[in-house]
Structure 1
Amino acid sequence: MRKISFRGWLTIVTLLLLAAVVVGAWPEIRKAIGLLDSINLWILALLIPVQFLSYYVTGEIMFSYLRAKGELREMSPWRMARTALELNFVNHILPSGGAAGFSYFGWVLSKYGVKPGRSTMAQIIRFALTFMSFLLLLLVAVVALIVDHQINRTVILLSFILAILALGATIGLVYVIGSQRRMQAFSSWLTRLCNRFVAWVTRGRKRDVLSSSVLLDFFDDLHGDFVAIRREKRILSWPFIWATIANLLDVALLWIAFWALGYPLNPATLFVAFGISSIASAISVTPGGAGVYEAIMIAFLASSGVPAEMAIAGTLIARISLIVLTVGFGYVFYQLTINKYGRRPPLSQ
């Protein structure tokens, strides 16, 4: 009988906690189910074009940077949008905090001659600029709530925490990749940490799964791109614009779901709720943050004055619709890519 892994135990504990939340909120869930009869399907159908536009815009954060670096001249806009959808699918299916997406994206772009370090830098730019534009939009959202007299201490505290997390992550990343010496020290530390962790999880059956030479070459490419960006800051202008639009579209998807229920929420409140839930789901052990995202979104909206049954119904309608579209179309395109290029090799090779 196989023993349950550490991740397996984390998943079990998470699911048990979510089950407890469902049991405790069951009366509100029953009321939320009753609200489903009032859905305007024509409004709900807007999720489909807006979601595909969201994938295209998210892809453009990375691809506009890569094109500015002279890459992907032969990749069509359709293929770029499709790759962004596949990337989202991989991150939803594999609970790895985004690591699976980094690996898959680099593998696909390698077929177009893009080096691993550069494809990773494109994704780092995506996350960094998304964070930065999110901070600006968060500030606008909080000011709007203050003017509208709809803000409380919870919103202020959580907004402050979000800002600190985003700034801390960005500053830490810039500090590490800004120095060749720090990059080399970090890559050596990361290699040892990963190999020790894998050896512990597999009870010594696998030890050196990550090659230090591969990681050093990868970080050298990353550092080179960072130095080039510092010399050409204007290269990030379009990626930043796309990142801002992507944030607005992500919140628009949630807003449409509540609108379909006849309860158009204040976009500012929804924006703060979206940020908190997204960060929590990013580090979740469940695929795509399923369960964690919904629980936090519902709890925040309810604490902000939204009726509990409406918070549950709107959140679940949005998430289920978006996940079905992501997994459905993403799986088809993912399989087409796998059939075309074959399985990707492990990182250590």
Structure 2
Amino acid sequence: MPPSDEDAAGSALFDEIARQGAGVRRAALWSWIPGLLLVAVLLLAVSRFTELQHFVALASAADPRWLLLGLVAQALTYLCAGGVWWLSLKHAGYRMRLAGFASLGLGKLFVDQALPTGGASGTLLVAASLRNRGVPLRIAFFAMLVGLFSYYAAYLTAAIASFAIIWTSHRMGAALASAFAVFAVVALFIPLAVIAIKSVSARFIPGWLRRRPTVRIVLMEMAEAPLFELMSLPLFLGAFGFQLAVILLDAATLWLAFRSIGVDVDPFVAFAGMVAGSIGATIGPAPLGLGTYEASAVAVMSILGIPVAPSLTAVVVFRGLSFWLPMLPGLWFSRRELGRSAHRA
């Protein structure tokens, strides 16, 4: 990219980052309230069933030793998520420390929840953070695209494995099969749409959508990201391995949540429940996947023979470890990076 184009993209990025910084400061508290209310409504609704009246007893008796192992597993997920970007930048000739990328994953998680734009806000935060570290925007967005393709490939693989687990138990109903089919379409459509935009043109995107600052910056850099020039099979397989490790660590965290409340479940059941929850959050209408994640995970594990009470308890514990607890460090990191970007701008 010529210097003028890089500067123009950088200026647009920092303008949008400054706007997002104000949004993060406003959303830091308010973004938590709807989620907490939705979870509270879900717990209140299910607590009316006789089978679930010992839910609080199960949660209060959770063994902290298993919860600590769950925290370790979640910490490793952020290291693996950062490993995708680390590997992509290393492939592009930018060698950086792997440990430094874990905090990027935390910041992206918070911004995506505080400013829900389908992941675009978090992507811009990571791109700006990499640029603060001397990485050109076109290379930063190349790393983002590698992460996008490997993410959907890993989750599609996990969805197929979960489908097989449920199918072999002879409990695959039409509703579950439809949900898996919809997710498969989404997982294939998004990467193919990105390839089509890069290969053809972005002029087919509606004007009202192109005028959005976030979309404009993403399209600007997507067009310049050297995806076809730098992508290779070893790079994709390495990134795919990191993404698959994140999924397996999340499933392990859910299994550890079960163990913390004294319930021993098959690891394959925990894996299928975790993947089903992610699918429900992706294709469900609820913001942040709240309610849809819990309901989907509990439904699948109930189908596989786990009672509703321990399933719901374990899922709520898992969501606390993987979703709510990382918000505080994510808030700190995102505000720090947004501040650096504003200072640089």
**Structure-2 change in CA distance of 1:185 and 1:276 (3 Å):** farther
Write the deviation string for residues 110-161 of structure 1: whole angstroms up to 9, x where unpaired: 21233444433423322322332333344445545666xx34123x863674
Asked whether the 8 Å contact 1:131–1:166 carries over to 2, the reply is no
Match of 1:56 in 2: 79
Asked whether the 8 Å contact 2:156–2:187 carries over to 1, the reply is no
Match of 1:301 in 2: 301
Alignment equivalent of 1:174, drawn from 180, 192, 195? 192
Match of 2:257 in 1: 257
In 2, the alpha carbon distance for the partners of 1:278 and 1:141 equals: 12
Residue 330 of structure 1: how far off its partner (Å):
1.6
Tell which deviates more after alignment, 272-281 or 14-23: 14-23
In 1, the alpha carbon distance for the partners of 2:171 and 2:181 equals: 17
**Structure-2 change in CA distance of 1:272 and 1:127 (3 Å):** farther
* Within-5 A mapping of 1:190-229: 190=206, 192-194=207-209, 208-210=211-213, 217-222=220-225, 224-229=226-231
1:60 maps to amino acid: G
Residue 89 of structure 1: how far off its partner (Å):
2.0
In 2, the alpha carbon distance for the partners of 1:219 and 1:254 equals: 35
Residue 326 of structure 1: how far off its partner (Å):
0.5
Match of 1:241 in 2: 241
Match of 1:201 in 2: none
Match of 1:78 in 2: 99
In 1, the alpha carbon distance for the partners of 2:53 and 2:137 equals: 49
In 2, the alpha carbon distance for the partners of 1:319 and 1:168 equals: 23
Asked whether the 8 Å contact 1:278–1:293 carries over to 2, the reply is yes
- Quote the RMSD (CA, aligned, Å): 3.5
Match of 1:26 in 2: 48
SS of the residue corresponding to residue 241 of structure 2 reads: helix
Tell which deviates more after alignment, 104-113 or 164-173: 164-173
Asked whether the 8 Å contact 1:194–1:210 carries over to 2, the reply is no
In 1, the alpha carbon distance for the partners of 2:235 and 2:213 equals: 32
**Structure-2 change in CA distance of 1:260 and 1:216 (3 Å):** closer
**Structure-2 change in CA distance of 1:59 and 1:268 (3 Å):** same
Residue 29 of structure 1: how far off its partner (Å):
4.5
In 1, the alpha carbon distance for the partners of 2:198 and 2:338 equals: 35
* Within-5 A mapping of 1:32-47: 32-47=55-70
Number of aligned pairs? 313
Structure 2 unaligned runs (5+)? 1-29
SS of the residue corresponding to residue 169 of structure 1 reads: helix
Alignment equivalent of 1:123, drawn from 144, 153, 156? 144
Percent sequence identity is 21
1:267 maps to amino acid: P
